[in-house]
Amino acid sequence: MKHRARKQWGQNFLKDSNLLNKLVALIDPKPEDLILEIGPGKGALTKKLSQKVSKLTAVEIDERLYSTLASQKELTNCTFINDDFLQTSWSEYGFGSQGIRVVGNIPYNITSPIIFELLKNRSKWKDAHLMVQKEVADRLAAKSGGKEYGRLTVMVQSQADVEKLISIPPDVFVPKPKVDSIFICIKPHSRYEMDKNMYARFDAVVRAAFGQRRKMLRNSLADFDLTKVKSIDFDRRPETLSVDEFVLLSNKIGRINPVEIPS
């Protein structure tokens, strides 16, 4: 049965077999890999990956697509879950404590929530290969000093490395989106050890800094006590600070004023 893409779920299905083969090569799945696929859609990438790995679990919110995938007998090593990825517990995936590899042609309207959900559970997976809107990919992988560099960049890069792998034109999708896409790879890192309170403080500092992007830091961070922070020039604007500098700034503010953190 032909499936009409549903706009509310941001469905754009990949149709180009050559591109799918390129994506599989970039993912480079191994027989022992455990794949978690977000939004398998009609299963074009699912089928190719399932031939190369021991186990694949896919979360699909669309009940019609889920039913079609679950009924395909050739996908014997695949488990399909009919649910919203953002509402699903990781314990439902059945992978145990082993490192998971995440794959997804994810809806562009909820890209950021999905990435932040992944980062919240970053100890459970070792890499994520995601199809995202070009504008978002540019922001995720941006360097300090450019217009793409912002709060999303700093928050994500404080937890993971982001690499843009291949650009994807609109005409390989059905329906055709109005934007270009980029296939990216995200790998968690542990360069900045932050407990829950440190991360909350870091988030508050970054949020405040970019909340008034055109202002100098001394103005956008006026609610913080900056008097003892000597290593940062507060006449700078937030996009000029590296991730390292934001972490340093957050830690110093934490030692000066550890209780009152703007929300």
pLDDT tens digits, 204-214 = 999 999 998 88
Residue 255 makes CB contacts below 8 A (sequence gap 6+) with: none
pLDDT tens digits, 68-115 = 999 998 898 999 999 999 999 988 888 876 789 999 988 888 899 999
Gap between the Cα atoms of 49 and 193, Å rounded: 34
The helix/strand count (H/E) of the chain reads as: 9, 9
pLDDT tens digits, 123-178 = 999 999 999 999 999 999 999 999 999 999 999 999 999 999 999 988 888 768 78
pLDDT tens digits, 189-242 = 999 988 888 999 999 999 999 998 889 999 999 999 888 888 899 999 999 999
Gap between the Cα atoms of 32 and 37, Å rounded: 16
Q: Report pLDDT for 259.
A: 46
Asked if residue 4 has pLDDT above 60, the reply is: no
Asked if residue 10 has pLDDT above 50, the reply is: no
Q: Report pLDDT for 225.
A: 86
Letter for the amino acid at 174? V
Residue 159's nearest CA partner among 125, 107, 214, 120 is 120
Residue 204's nearest CA partner among 125, 141, 262 is 262
Residue 113 makes CB contacts below 8 A (sequence gap 6+) with: 86
Asked if residue 9 has pLDDT above 50, the reply is: no
75-112 burial string, b = 16+ CB within 10 Å, else e? beebebbbeebeebeeeebebeeeebbbbbbbbbebbb
pTM of the model: 0.89
Residue 237's nearest CA partner among 145, 151, 140, 154 is 145
Is residue 121 within 8 A of residue 90, CB to CB? The reply is yes
Q: Report pLDDT for 108.
A: 83
